[in-house]
Amino acid sequence: MSHPFFTYYGPISVNKISELLNTKIDITSNVEITDIKDLSNADQNSLTFLHSNRYKEVAKLTKASYCLTTHLLKDYLPKTCRAIIVENVLIATSIITSKIYPNSIEDEFDANVKNIEQTNFKNNIKYGKNVLIGANVDIGSNCLIGHNTIIEKNVKIGNNCKIGSNTIIRNSFIKNNVSILDNCVIGKKGFGFFPNKINNLRYPHIGIVIINESCEIGCGATIDRGSMSNTEIGKNTFLDNQVHIAHNVKIGENSIIAGQVGIAGSSIIGKNVRIGGQAGISGHLKIGDNADIAGGSGVIKDVPNNTKVMGYPAKNIREFLRENK
Amino acid sequence: MSHPFFTYYGPISVNKISELLNTKIDITSNVEITDIKDLSNADQNSLTFLHSNRYKEVAKLTKASYCLTTHLLKDYLPKTCRAIIVENVLIATSIITSKIYPNSIEDEFDANVKNIEQTNFKNNIKYGKNVLIGANVDIGSNCLIGHNTIIEKNVKIGNNCKIGSNTIIRNSFIKNNVSILDNCVIGKKGFGFFPNKINNLRYPHIGIVIINESCEIGCGATIDRGSMSNTEIGKNTFLDNQVHIAHNVKIGENSIIAGQVGIAGSSIIGKNVRIGGQAGISGHLKIGDNADIAGGSGVIKDVPNNTKVMGYPAKNIREFLRENK
Amino acid sequence: MSHPFFTYYGPISVNKISELLNTKIDITSNVEITDIKDLSNADQNSLTFLHSNRYKEVAKLTKASYCLTTHLLKDYLPKTCRAIIVENVLIATSIITSKIYPNSIEDEFDANVKNIEQTNFKNNIKYGKNVLIGANVDIGSNCLIGHNTIIEKNVKIGNNCKIGSNTIIRNSFIKNNVSILDNCVIGKKGFGFFPNKINNLRYPHIGIVIINESCEIGCGATIDRGSMSNTEIGKNTFLDNQVHIAHNVKIGENSIIAGQVGIAGSSIIGKNVRIGGQAGISGHLKIGDNADIAGGSGVIKDVPNNTKVMGYPAKNIREFLRENK
């Protein structure tokens, strides 16, 4: 209902959910669900989902009234939240989300863009040749947009931003004083789908990309939007060239990410973190504040606050260097 | 003769081959060779080449009548195939191929493209601004082509395909239901040449890129065409962002290749293979069906079917995790 | 004064330097400094800087008359060079450079480009659609420039060069017979700045990119210009796709750099060096002539001439393979 970008096709009744998922839900009246959200963002009108015991602590605090989950996980939910038992939680989540936000699944190019010269932006922006602007775009004052750049639909850009040339942005909030350099792709759907022998089943991506104040995003970066939550870069965080940030990743403020780093889906990176060139962070990890990850490292488990790691698998840097003299 | 894309300047007589390579060939009559092909694709009118004992098993079965090879390797050939002994097999192969397909060496931009609005495609395709289309291009029904995308010469695209924006495609077959996202370069020549102190000698790339049904290719991917065979992605295989696929690589169906993976030249990847982010596969390897390669791994030897590997050099994942607790 | 590209706002008096840096400089007359250069390029009218004892040997030979440095390092300077003691050498260097070359800090897109059809280049170049050309651009004879490519201001291109499509070049010298393929970004400022909790402080990049004769640069490559010295690729060196070359890097001639390699800032690579796919070289290293770095390696210390290394951290290849059987 409150989604900033994707057209809302809700609400949806619990009866309808039951029918779509072919599952029995024990209800007395036909309640309406207004939205589907992750455990921490859900409110009492929302449906949420719990698919792994990795999220059991968050589950205990959810405010959602209904939750797609399994027999094994249902007891982590608070009494205020009714479990809807399904065989595959993520597929069920995907089915319901696709019903509420059907146009969040596919990323067709935006066929409704106009040349910036045909829009009102031509008066208050410095822009290059062949700049294209989609519907539902807002751009603040004192911004630059380079040649051949495409701001597709659903983009809010703050003041004093500099967007380079040949860059594509969609479904994103760009705050003030952000620089995005050349050849980037920001806000496309993430690499998330259910493998299937005939045709992989894409799942919806209703998250957006948020790039906070004073960030810099290097050339050739790709930052995918989230599936059920947002992808977010904290303020004054700088990314070098050819960095890849997958869906649902969150990076804290004042972090420094060197060239060719890749961060896999749903990992949470703290503030003041330094990541050296070509390092890779696996999915669903938590990297603490002030962590320092040496270039080339492959991080496959959580890194505590104030810790330096190196190697593949990454370990305490002193230990790594002692073993590799 | 049957090459779908490069202009054919054959046939070529065995006398002419002898003269070009400055080598003696013992023949009774002046036979004509219609084509040059790799060991397994050659027929009895073809010349082939054998430069490494890695290919001895394939060599035994070749149907070619002539083969460029060395004294050490010639005995692997069947009796129906006459050896043409040369000092450097790959250079000799390059010389003959360049003679038969001279325009397969260089990748100049296609100066003969037209804006799609000047072609008949404007009637049955949904397209963006500034889309360019070369000669010898076929596009099926119900396709989308994003802004600034260039379909250079020699491209066949099936039905229901979605090509993103800022993407360049040449010398490729794209089958039905394929999605290619933004900023990709598909079908350029591979990184193959003979090092030479004054001027590296580029070799011809007569292979094409084939992307089979229902594949998805992520943003910023590069897929090079093959030198003497094709580069091929099996059906329903998905590649994430910033993946690099070198010349002659073949990937089976239903595989999943995460972000920033690189696969070096001529490696063969099976079906149902999963490759984690940033993993690298060296050249000329064979990765078996259902293999699972952990993110960040560096694979430098063959991986059998149904095997999980991790590390650099990649080894059995249990062994790796035991050694790296 | 002699900078080929950035507008010169010098000279600057030593009194003014003292005032800008809020430091006392003991001088008898108010000398004027014409330029700021690194230790080896400075002449007697230049100011230079010494911030690490890694450069003590070069410091001994500098011809500069003044040097920004610290109490600990000042004794490495020759008697002809007066130390200007500052707390943070790089910040001081940044402040003075920004004063002399103020427009070397930011990389705004070049808003003054023209379509090539409005320039004289249309007569002697073969070019694609939508090619843009900035001010202070020179292009030799017999060159090709592909579609949507942007040659921003301050670029010199030699004869017989082939520039692909969707590529952006600025602040660069491209010598004869160079090929730069599609989707590259050449000559943007490096990823150099002083971290600061509110707003990272970008430092100026007055170095340029020099690509010497007969090089080939693969698709999607990024080559950043230098901060206080140039980024340079030696003649007949070939880079594969998706390579990242950071600021101040120098690569010798006849080297071969495979796909997805990253070279961090200020490293010096020798000639005839081979670097396998996805290898990473840390910053400020020296890789000797004829070195061979295996694909996937992470190099964190200097590599002597004629040495093969492998692994992370990279070590002698025989040692690595023995330990990893």
Which chain A residue's Cα is nearest to C112? A128
Average of per-residue pLDDT across A240-261? 98
Q: What's the rounded mean pLDDT across residues A39-66?
A: 93
Which residues of chain A does B296 touch, with a Cβ-Cβ cutoff of 8 Å?
280, 298, 300, 312
Chain A residue nearest residue B148, CA to CA: A148
Beta carbons of C94 and C201 less than 8 angstroms apart: yes
Are A125 and B125 in contact by the 8 Å Cβ rule? The answer is no
Whether pLDDT at C1 is above 60: no
Q: State the smallest CA–CA distance between residue C96 and chain A in angstroms.
A: 24
- Model confidence band, residue A193 (pLDDT cutoffs 50, 70, 90): confident
- pLDDT attached to residue A1: 45
| Mean pLDDT within C80-97 | 93
What's the confidence (pLDDT) of residue A28? 66
Partner-chain contact B168 C183, CB within 8 Å:
yes
Residue C100 φ/ψ, nearest 5 degrees: -80, -35
Phi-psi region of B130 (alpha: psi -120 to 50; beta: other; left: phi over 0): left
d(CA B143, CA C176): 41
Provide DSSP, C290-302.
Answer: T-EE-TT-EE-S-
Taking each helix axis from N to C end, the angle separating C89-100 and C14-21, rounded to the nearest 10 degrees, works out to 130
Active site residues of B: 247
* Two structure tokens written together for C246: 């950071």
Q: Please give the pLDDT value at position B28.
A: 66
Residue in C with minimal Cα distance to A183: C183
Taking alpha carbons only, the member of C299, B167, B315, B277 closest to residue A298 is: B277
Residue C161 has pLDDT above 80, yes or no: yes
What is the least distance, in Å, from the CA of C159 to any CA of chain B? 15
How many other CB atoms sit within 10 Å of the CB of residue B90?
17
- Taking an 8 Å cut-off on Cβ atoms, the answer to whether C188 and A181 are in contact is yes
Q: Report d(CA B15, CA B31) in Å as an integer.
A: 8
Give the per-residue pLDDT at B271.
97
Residue C44 has pLDDT above 60, yes or no: yes
Q: What does pTM read for this prediction?
A: 0.94
B117: left (phi over 0), alpha (psi -120 to 50) or beta: alpha
| Topology of the domain comprising A12-104 | 3.40.1390
Q: CB–CB of C108 and A144 under 8 A?
A: yes
User: Is B280 within 8 Å of C296 (Cβ atoms)?
Assistant: yes
Contact C173/C156 with Cβ under 8 angstroms? yes
SS3 B318: helix
Residue of A nearest to B127 (CA): A111
Q: Is C296 left (phi over 0), alpha (psi -120 to 50) or beta?
A: left
Q: Do C165 and B168 touch (CB under 8 A)?
A: yes
Chains that touch B (3 or more CB pairs under 8 A): A, C
Residue A157 has pLDDT above 50, yes or no: yes
- Cβ distance C208 to C214 under 8 Å? no
CB-CB under 8 Å, C162 with B108: yes
For the stretch B20-40, pLDDT in tens is: 999 888 766 678 999 999 999
Closest CA to C64 of C49, C86, C85, C75: C49
d(CA B44, CA B82): 11
Q: What is residue B188's DSSP assignment?
A: P
d(CA A36, CA A93): 8
The encoded tokens of residue B271 equal 């079906």
The Cα–Cα gap between C249 and C234 comes to 11
Residues of chain B with CATH 3.40.1390.10: 12-104
pLDDT tens for each residue of B98-118: 999 988 887 899 999 999 999
C18 class by beta-carbon count within 10 Å (0-12 exposed, 13-18 middle, 19+ buried): middle
The C-alpha atoms of residue A71 and residue C240 are separated, in whole angstroms, by 51
Backbone angles phi, psi at A59, to 5 degrees: -60, -40
Cβ C208 vs Cβ C4: under 8 Å? yes
Neighbours of chain C (3+ CB pairs under 8 A): A, B
Residue A171 has pLDDT above 90, yes or no: yes
CA distance B259 to B275: 9
Please give the Cα distance from B74 to B82 (Å, whole number).
9
Q: Least CA distance to A183: which residue of chain B?
A: B183
Set of chain C residues whose Cβ sits within 8 Å of the Cβ of B300 = 295-296
b (16+ CB within 10 A) / e for C263-290: bbbbbbbbbbbbbbbbbbbbbebebbbb
Decide: C247 and C264 in contact? Cβ < 8 Å.
no
Contact B296 A280 (CB under 8 A): yes
Element spanning B15, H or E: helix B14-21
* Edge-to-edge strand list for the sheet holding B315-316: B125-127, B143-145, B162-163, B179-180, B216-217, B238-239, B256-257, B274-275, B292-293, B308-310, B315-316
Q: With an 8 Å Cβ cutoff, are A296 and C278 in contact? A: no
- Is residue A228 a contact partner of residue A49, using CB atoms and an 8 Å limit? yes
Q: Are C270 and C232 in contact (CB under 8 A)?
A: no
Q: Where does CATH 2.160.10.10 sit in chain A?
A: 171-323
From first to last of its 325 residues, chain B has per-residue pLDDT tens of 467 888 899 999 999 999 999 988 876 667 899 999 999 999 999 999 999 998 999 999 999 999 999 999 999 999 999 999 999 999 999 999 999 998 888 789 999 999 999 999 999 899 999 999 999 999 999 999 999 999 999 999 999 999 999 999 999 999 999 999 999 999 999 998 888 887 888 888 999 999 999 999 999 999 999 998 999 999 999 999 999 999 999 999 999 999 999 999 999 999 999 999 999 999 999 999 999 999 999 999 999 999 999 999 999 999 999 988 7
B146 contacts on A by Cβ (under 8 Å) = 109
Average pLDDT, chain A: 94
For B1, counting Cβ atoms within 10 Å of its Cβ (0-12 exposed, 13-18 middle, 19+ buried), the class is exposed
- Gap between the Cα atoms of C275 and C257, Å rounded: 5
For residues B152 and B252, give the distance between their C-alpha atoms in angstroms, rounded to a whole number.
26
Q: What is the CA radius of gyration of chain C?
A: 21
pLDDT for B1: 45
- Domain spanning B171-323: which superfamily? Hexapeptide repeat proteins (2.160.10.10)
User: Taking CB atoms and an 8 Å cutoff, what residues of chain A touch C244?
Assistant: 240-242, 259-260, 277
Chain A residues whose C-beta sits inside 8 Å of any chain C C-beta: 126, 128-130, 144-148, 162, 164-166, 177, 181-183, 214, 216, 218-220, 236, 238, 240-242, 254, 256, 258-260, 276-278, 295-296, 311-312, 324
Vertex A246 angle, CA A241 and A249, to 5°: 105
Q: How many Å apart are CA A93 and CA A262, to the nearest integer?
A: 27
Pairing relationship of beta strands B66-69 and B150-151 according to DSSP bridges:
unpaired
Q: What's the rounded mean pLDDT across residues C155-179? A: 97
Helix and strand numbers (H, E) in chain B are: 4, 37
